[in-house]
Amino acid sequence: MSELTPAQMDALVSLLDDPDMEVKNHVREKIISMGAEIIPFLEQKWETSFNPEVQKEIEELVHDLQFSLVKSRLAEWRDSEDRDLLTGLWILNTYQYPDLDFAKLNAEMHQIYFEVWTSFKNDLQPYDQVRIINNVLFNTLRFSANTKNFHSPGNSMLSTVLDTKKGNPISLCAIYLLVAKKLGLPIYGVNLPNLFVLTYKSADITFYINAFNKGLIFSRQDIFNYLEHLKIEPKEEFFEPCAHLDIILRSLRNLGNAFEKLGESNKVDEVREMISILENQ
């Protein structure tokens, strides 16, 4: 963990409530420099401390260390070759739930895929394949739009959406997309203004799917009508597949908006930091 002995570590942590700001800042820097491996030690110190000042300092340190880990994972993900969607969603999820295990999320997603796969037939027409996915996700498994708490930060957390079966357009689309990809279907995300949808796009056929409305199937003309209704000029990107990076960026922007509505300005700033990491390509 570090070059310090447990006794030296104890002494270091006990200096966190030193009245001398210079000492306190030096201690904080020293602890931060040790990286995320020191978190379990700090959590243990928090549990055994009876000093609220020290506890508060430890909480802030643990958060800073965990946030640094999220940022370095995001940068790694940005620079990875495939930018795996589930990995990106897991990293975003660990911002709120630092102890979330990727394997747990992966197993839950595999279970959903398995439920769809057992009902699926490869020789069906695309529309019928999509209807099967819709039936399993929205009828059997009962995933639905979180219209009551549309702006909740939980809507951007895949683990929360899997637990509650409620999400916003992008989180429901992400689950749909991960399942469809595993089935080998040409289904992709589409970045519409105010709404995130999916497209089934092959050489023979293109149509769109609204996961926020139980997988409603619609056409290119419907997108034109939607944009006209919003008085927004049609752009090619509103009809075409977007990258995994766009999905994670949009999820982060939703998360930032959720914290803004809750008045959590520190978290809004941290989300902006995460966005700038992904935009800095």
- In this predicted structure, what is the pLDDT of residue 1? 46
Q: What is the pLDDT of residues 150-193, one digit of tens each?
A: 889 999 999 999 999 999 999 999 999 999 999 999 999 999 99
Which residues make Cβ contacts (< 8 Å) with residue 140, sequence separation at least 6?
115
What is d(CA 183, CA 274) in angstroms, rounded to the nearest whole number? 31
Name the residue ranges covered by the structural domains of the chain. Answer: 6-79, 85-279
Residue 122: pLDDT over 90: no
Whether residue 56 contacts residue 13, with contact meaning beta carbons closer than 8 Å, is answered with no
Which of 47, 75, 53, 87 lies closest to 244, judged by CA?
Answer: 87
Where is average pLDDT lowest: 13-22, 31-40, 148-157, 239-248? 13-22
Give the chain's end-to-end CA distance (angstroms, integer). Answer: 32
Whether residue 68 contacts residue 28, with contact meaning beta carbons closer than 8 Å, is answered with no
Q: What mean pLDDT comes out for the span 50-72? A: 87
* Rg, the chain, Cα only: 22
Residue 50: pLDDT over 90: no
Beta strand 187-192 with 144-145 is unpaired
Torsion of CA 197, 279, 233, 244, to 10 degrees: -20
Whether residue 244 contacts residue 205, with contact meaning beta carbons closer than 8 Å, is answered with no
What is d(CA 210, CA 200) in angstroms, rounded to the nearest whole number? 11
Whether residue 189 contacts residue 241, with contact meaning beta carbons closer than 8 Å, is answered with yes
Q: How many CA atoms lie within 13 A of 101 on its CB side?
A: 4
Q: What is the pLDDT of residues 203-243, one digit of tens each?
A: 999 999 999 999 999 999 999 999 999 999 999 999 999 99
Whether residue 173 contacts residue 244, with contact meaning beta carbons closer than 8 Å, is answered with no
- In this predicted structure, what is the pLDDT of residue 110? 97
Strand partners, 199: 188, 208
What is d(CA 134, CA 168) in angstroms, rounded to the nearest whole number? 16
Strands lying side by side in the sheet with 187-192: 187-192, 195-201, 206-210, 216-218
- Kindly state the tokens that stand for 240: 């075409």
Across all residues in the chain, what is the average pLDDT?
92
- In this predicted structure, what is the pLDDT of residue 78? 97
Report phi then psi at 197, rounded to 5: -130, -175
- In this predicted structure, what is the pLDDT of residue 59? 86
Whether residue 145 contacts residue 56, with contact meaning beta carbons closer than 8 Å, is answered with no
